[in-house]
Amino acid sequence: MINLETPKKQAALIDQAHQLAMNMLRPISRKYDRAEHEYPKELDMLAALIDGVSETGATGGAGAGGVRRDEKPDKDPGKVRNGANLASVLSVAEMCWGDTALLLSMPRQGLGNSAIASVANEEQLERYQGTWAAMAITEPGIGSDSANLTTTAVKDGDEYVINGEKIYVTSGDRADSVVVWATLDKELGRAAIKSFLVRKDNPGLKVERLEHKLGIRASDTAAITFTGCRVPAEDLLGSPEIDTKSGFAGAMATFDNTRPLVAAMAIGCARASLDLTRDLLEQAGVTIDYDRPAERQSAAAAKFLQLEADWEGAKLLMMQAAWMADNRRPNSLEASMAKAKAGRVGSDVTLSCVQLCGTLGYSEGELLEKWSRDSKILDIFEGTQQIQQLIVARRILGLTSSELK
């Protein structure tokens, strides 16, 4: 039976993540928002601290690195586990309470690391340990439908030759490797899509440009081309076999892993906005009373209570998706529900907090306007709001992608 209270055994980890966010990320948040594309050097020390915590054997981590479903049978099949997935989303939410863009800039905590955790075999997991991996999926002209990607990987002896272009690659310039999604055979459609670990110094890989963005400006977002880029066959993640029966399932396992993490980012950013807005409202004489119905309070207090209720619902969906992964239950539906709800709530909450705080919310004197800019991307990447709703509808109705487009 799922219990959506924060597990006691993870309380220390979550508190540590909050302290790091408050004392290390929040103080430099505005600095690196203004200095777009400048690498936050302070993160090197923070990454070293997180590595130290991991070496002590603490559960989970405080970054955005992926977590892996344990495929080993449990000695007690009826046992309920609160494992690495739940620890990761809760700690990521705390770190994003500090700053989402800085969390996305953490060394060795890239979204590509989540892809590795999802589909790499045991030998690859060991070999790639310590790498900082970006994830390259999106291409010009294909929108949100990753199944239509055109980047190709052609087998040539003991190597694959990759050709194509990827855009909006988070940490695409700073990371030391890139997880590239490519098709082995366009005619076989989704089933032929595989992911490859490509090192940044590999000939044929070129970072073409860095994007200037509305939010998460401390995080570098790159366009990358692959021209005759040769990759050892052993760097194809997981199995090289094309299974037309499983279709896109192997690739989608990555999203089942990363979507709860992105939901956690939205939860953390929205929580930061709510906390600051409550303080600013109280300073202005607006008291939020949790013992009285919303309709018996001021309009500002009633709106704040509604925002908190929406936030709570999004958080619980996020925790459910992560808990299901920890307990080896299929969570594709729940991962998309969490991402859809948290993405929308994140934008609604942060923009509403700007509105509630008026000129203080709109000015750079507070971080509310920054959080409203940062949160929008969390409703877009890893699958837009519309794509998530489409996936949820297919799952609930039992329809395929060809039957419901």
The per-residue pLDDT for range 382-403, each reduced to its tens digit, is: 889 999 999 999 999 999 888 9
In this structure, is residue 404 part of a structural domain? no
Q: How far apart are CA 185 and CA 224, in angstroms?
A: 21
- State whether 102 and 208 are in the same domain: no
In this structure, is residue 244 part of a structural domain? no
In this structure, is residue 243 part of a structural domain? no
Q: Is residue 97 within 8 Å of 271, Cβ to Cβ? A: yes
Q: Is residue 342 within 8 Å of 378, Cβ to Cβ? A: yes
Mark which of 61, 89, 116 sits at the end of a domain. 116
| Token representation of residue 380 | 């877009």
Ordered per-residue pLDDT tens for the chain, 405 residues? 677 778 888 899 899 999 999 999 999 999 999 999 999 999 998 888 777 655 544 444 444 444 455 555 455 656 677 788 899 999 999 999 999 999 999 998 888 988 888 888 999 999 999 899 999 999 998 877 777 899 999 999 999 999 999 999 999 999 999 999 999 998 887 889 999 999 999 999 999 999 999 999 999 999 999 999 999 999 999 888 887 655 555 566 778 888 999 999 999 999 999 999 999 999 999 999 999 999 999 999 999 999 999 999 999 999 999 999 888 889 999 999 999 999 999 999 999 999 999 999 999 999 999 999 999 999 999 889 999 999 999 999 999 888 998
Q: Which of 388, 383, 398, 334 minimizes the C-alpha distance to 111?
A: 383
In this structure, is residue 2 part of a structural domain? no
| Token representation of residue 324 | 């299901």
- State whether 254 and 393 are in the same domain: yes
pLDDT on residue 52? 65
Catalytic residue list contains 382 = yes
Mark which of 237, 271, 301 sits at the end of a domain. 237
Q: Is residue 160 within 8 Å of 230, Cβ to Cβ? A: yes
In this structure, is residue 126 part of a structural domain? no
List the CATH number of the domain containing 373. Answer: 1.20.140.10
- State whether 200 and 285 are in the same domain: no
- State whether 170 and 303 are in the same domain: no
Mark which of 214, 237, 260 sits at the end of a domain. 237
Quote the domain boundaries for residue 161: 131-237
- State whether 40 and 16 are in the same domain: yes
pLDDT on residue 77? 56
Q: Which of 226, 232, 212, 213 minimizes the C-alpha distance to 182?
A: 226
pLDDT on residue 109? 84
In this structure, is residue 207 part of a structural domain? yes
In this structure, is residue 284 part of a structural domain? yes
Amino acid at 305: L
- State whether 347 and 212 are in the same domain: no
pLDDT on residue 190? 82
pLDDT on residue 49? 75
In this structure, is residue 402 part of a structural domain? no
C-alpha distances in Å from residue 7, one per residue of 18, 317, 331:
16, 16, 20
Q: How far apart are CA 246 and CA 238, in angstroms?
A: 14
- State whether 214 and 329 are in the same domain: no
- State whether 108 and 65 are in the same domain: yes
Domain count, the chain: 3
Q: Is residue 128 within 8 Å of 175, Cβ to Cβ? A: no
- State whether 39 and 169 are in the same domain: no
Q: How far apart are CA 78 and CA 37, in angstroms?
A: 49
- State whether 332 and 354 are in the same domain: yes
List the CATH number of the domain containing 26. Answer: 1.10.540
Q: How far apart are CA 354 and CA 363, in angstroms?
A: 9
Q: Which of 317, 319, 314, 295 minimizes the C-alpha distance to 305?
A: 295
Where would I find the H helices in 35-129? 42-55, 84-98, 100-104, 111-119, 122-127
Name the active-site residue from 38, 366, 382, 403.
382
β pairing state of 205-210 and 177-183: unpaired
List the CATH number of the domain containing 224. Answer: 2.40.110.10
- State whether 297 and 266 are in the same domain: yes
C-alpha 164: how far from its chain's center?
A: 24
- State whether 255 and 233 are in the same domain: no
pLDDT on residue 152? 96
Q: Is residue 28 within 8 Å of 70, Cβ to Cβ? A: no
